[in-house]
Amino acid sequence: MPTFFKINNLEKQSIEVPGTRSEGATGHYRHSAFVGGLVDHIREAPHVKTLYDLFETSASKHSELEFLGRRSYDPVTKTYGRYTWETYAQIRQRINEFGSGLMHINEVVLGSDQLDRWSLGIWSLGRPEWFVSEMSCNYYNNISVPLYDSLGPDAVEYVINHAEVRMVSCSANHIATLLQNSHKLPTLKAIVSMDSFTNPATLPGTANAAEVLRAWGAEKGIKIYDFYEVEALGRAFPRKHIPPKPDDVASLCYTSGTTGQPKGVMLTHRNFIAAVGTNREGMRLGPGDVTISYLPLAHIMGRLSETSASFSGCKIGYFKGDILTLMDDVAELKPTYFSAVPRLLNRLYARLVAATIDAPGLTGALARKGVEVKLANLEAGKGVDHPLWDRLIFNKVKMVLGGRVQVLLTGSAPIAKEVLNFLRVCFGCSVLEGYGSTEGLATATVTMADEYIPGHVGCPRAGCEIRLVDVPAMNYFSTDKPFPRGEIQIRGAMIFKGYYKDEKNTRETLDENGWLATGDIGFVDNRGCFTIIDRKKNIFKLAQGEYIAPEKIENTLTARCKLIMQIYVHGDSLESTLVAVVIPDPETFLPFANAVAGTQVTLADRAGYKRLIDDPKVNAAVMVELEKAGKAGKLRGFEFVKRVHLSTDMFSVENDMMTPTSKVRRPQVREYFSDKIQAMYEDIHRTTTVAKL
């Protein structure tokens, strides 16, 4: 089970290092146990300096332990069975073979220079082949370039060309896309399918899919292999490892920009090792721990989680690939450690609330009392366990996550206080909230295991220090009372090397002293804990001069209004009020709207659902819920939305209104809903005029 290194004094979690203040900035805040020096390596394994060292050490130490697992699939019954596992030794052998096979293809088949470093694109959902592909780059000193599974062809084209990707290891469903666009991909020379080509043709004398793909690839000048062929080549032509150096770039991790093209974050081996070492100073997983991998591995949070687990001797089970059936995978795997994002936890929270404290009769009454008692204990610093209420209610609730989860980590976006504490008492485990970015390898702050006060993102991790820098345009200053406020800047060994081929953005983000400007606004309280309160980017002024950070408002409303699946808050300098576009969550919205309209529409009745969406009474009722959520989130008066447009047109990667990391592309959403936005403002102006008359 996970082991925590608890802070000695929760009331003083970080300390401002004396003598480090400068004009326009606070001093440097460090974790109270690491004021004398930051962690920049894995302290129990000082010889581990690269990702190659990391897995060689782990595979030797844990060789016979089960490591990577996936659920077996019966194509006849079309059902999934139990997890099947490969050991650390087996995965290490596959890395050797796959890496050797790629080197043989690169040098012998493609005729490339033996000493040349090159980039391997990786494009699929999480699976053992993803890990093998990435780690093979570390064994032969090449560069991994993860591609988001939901990236459209245009973004894939940009990343492959920008990173000069020579080969792509991908799931079979992406091969056609790559070949269709191959005329735009001059550096791409080979594609490796993670799915086997061994299935025979259905009719004698007909070509199977593999033959068709190979012939198509030959026309385009691109070699097509399946994963097992490459491994076989590696067995036939084994290569010696080419260990990387700590400052070599291990991966180009492209951030999905909300406006322009994605930026290639250069992450070195030193960055990864510093992040793993830093994370182990707060919590250590070990043999016997199990985690589920379902977050996109092109996203740094999922990547760091998997890298840390691989050093610890853990088991990593991959989900089937369908987020809608994730809980079925969780029930089968029974993880001890679970990484999550607020969007998933908010939906889980809504379901648990409906089944417990909002349930009718005795069940609801008991749940409300149990939650009340456990929340009181938590707020008093007495922990999350209770012998009576756990036995009566919450041990059953724990089974939603398999019954064994000891640690639940959330990150990537803010989560509401009430959600955080409700999950803590329901699951009876440590619920940690972390904060970080791709440029800092997802490592900046985290809450403590025994934290009892919600609403902040904890203190600096052992390997980094933080300062707050004045933002005069937004009226945030390091001299503010009662607490210093400003832009959060981070420094440590996990901070990235820079943006690939992009000196301008590198200079704007990373200063000469190594400080990473995050663009997030925060304050630090008297316990040394940091709270995110605003965003420096994506801000605008209302007509009366008030600054608005729409993402903050969207996060506040989403966390507190269970009707919302997606939301876009809009305003500009010509208007004094905000409006919103909301895509309702059908699971919660449908019963709510039926109750308001007095109907019994089902989700299958699309015409009926559309009528509910357009019903003025339903719209007015949703506005009431948004107002309640705004008050609960302590929004200021000018931050409340005054009109809402309900729609079924979800923001997605496919329609270019969302990035692969679930960030709203604001200009695209504004353009798509421009008529509706204009209509909402016209209604506000008309109502205001009538009121004056």
CATH at 190: 3.40.50.12780
Establish if 319 belongs to a structural domain: no
The reported pLDDT for the residue numbered 150 is 61
Looking at the predicted structure, is the pLDDT value of residue 199 above 70?
Answer: no
Least trusted range by pLDDT, from 100-109, 119-128, 391-400, 475-484: 391-400
State mean pLDDT over 544-564: 84
- Please report whether residue 402 resides in a domain: yes
Pick from 204, 221, 244: which residue ends a domain? 244
- Does 572 share its domain with 612? yes
How large is the average pLDDT for residues 537-550? Answer: 75
Residues 107 and 206 in one domain: yes
Q: What angle do CA 547, 548, 551 make, to 5 degrees?
A: 150
For tokens 């019994």, what's the residue?
600
Whether the ω angle into residue 482 lies within 30 degrees of 0, i.e. cis, is: yes
Strand partners, 25: 22, 469
> Is residue 199 within 8 Å of 209, Cβ to Cβ?
yes
Same domain, 25 and 129: no
CA atoms within 13 A on the CB side of 418: 16
Is 207 found in the same domain as 166? yes
Residue 524, classed as helix, strand or coil, is strand
Residue 299 inside a domain? The answer is no
**Vertex 650: Cα angle to 649 and 655 (nearest 5):** 90
Three-state SS at 296: coil
In a domain, 404, yes or no: yes
The pLDDT value given to residue 669: 92
Task: Tell me which of 201, 224, 244 is where a domain ends.
Answer: 244
- Which helix (H) or strand (E) covers residue 15, if one does? strand 14-16
Round to whole Å and give the CA distance between 667 and 540. 13
- Determine, yes or no, domain membership for 39: yes
DSSP secondary structure code for residue 509 in this structure: H
End-to-end CA distance of the chain: 68
> What number is the average pLDDT over the span 643-653?
92
In three-state secondary structure terms, 59 is helix
In Å, how far are 294, 337, 340, 427 from 408, measured between CA atoms? Answer: 14, 6, 7, 9
**What is the extent of the structural domain holding 576?**
540-692
Quickly count: other Cβ atoms within 10 Å of residue 577's Cβ.
18
For residue 502, which phi and psi values (nearest 5 degrees)? -150, 75
User: Looking at the structure, do residues 357 and 450 belong to the same domain, yes or no?
Assistant: yes
CB environment 656-678: b (16+ within 10 A), e (fewer): bbbbbbbbbbbebbbebbeebbe
The Cα 273–Cα 288 span in angstroms is 22
Same domain, 467 and 566: no
353 shares its domain with 489: yes
Q: How many domains does the chain have?
A: 3
Which of 244, 265, 295 represents a domain boundary (last residue)?
244
Residue 570: band (very low, low, confident or very high) from pLDDT cuts 50, 70, 90: very high
Do the domain assignments include residue 654? yes
Within a domain: 55: no
Q: Which residues contact 311 (CB under 8 A, 6 or more apart)?
A: 42, 45, 48, 54, 55, 57, 58, 276, 280
Number of residues that this document lists for the chain = 693
Note whether 475 and 509 are same-domain residues. yes
The CATH number covering residue 640 comes to 3.30.300.30
Q: Which of 264, 250, 333, 258 is nearest to 294 (CA)?
A: 333
Tell which residue, 588, 536, 521, has the closest CA to residue 558.
Answer: 588
Q: How confident is the model at residue 70 (pLDDT cuts 50, 70, 90)?
A: very high
Alpha helical stretches, state H, 337-389: 342-355, 361-379, 387-389
198 confidence band (pLDDT: 50, 70, 90): confident
Q: Are residues 547 and 644 in the same domain?
A: yes
According to the model, what pLDDT value does residue 414 have?
A: 74
Q: Are residues 583 and 667 in the same domain?
A: yes
pLDDT of amino acid 275: 97
Q: Do both 144 and 19 map to the same domain? A: no
The answer to the question of residue 187 being in a domain is yes
Confidence at residue 691, expressed as pLDDT on a 0 to 100 scale: 55
Q: Which pLDDT score, from 0 to 100, does residue 204 have?
A: 47
Do 618 and 672 sit in the same domain of this protein?
yes
Burial class (CB in 10 A: 0-12, 13-18, 19+), 305: buried
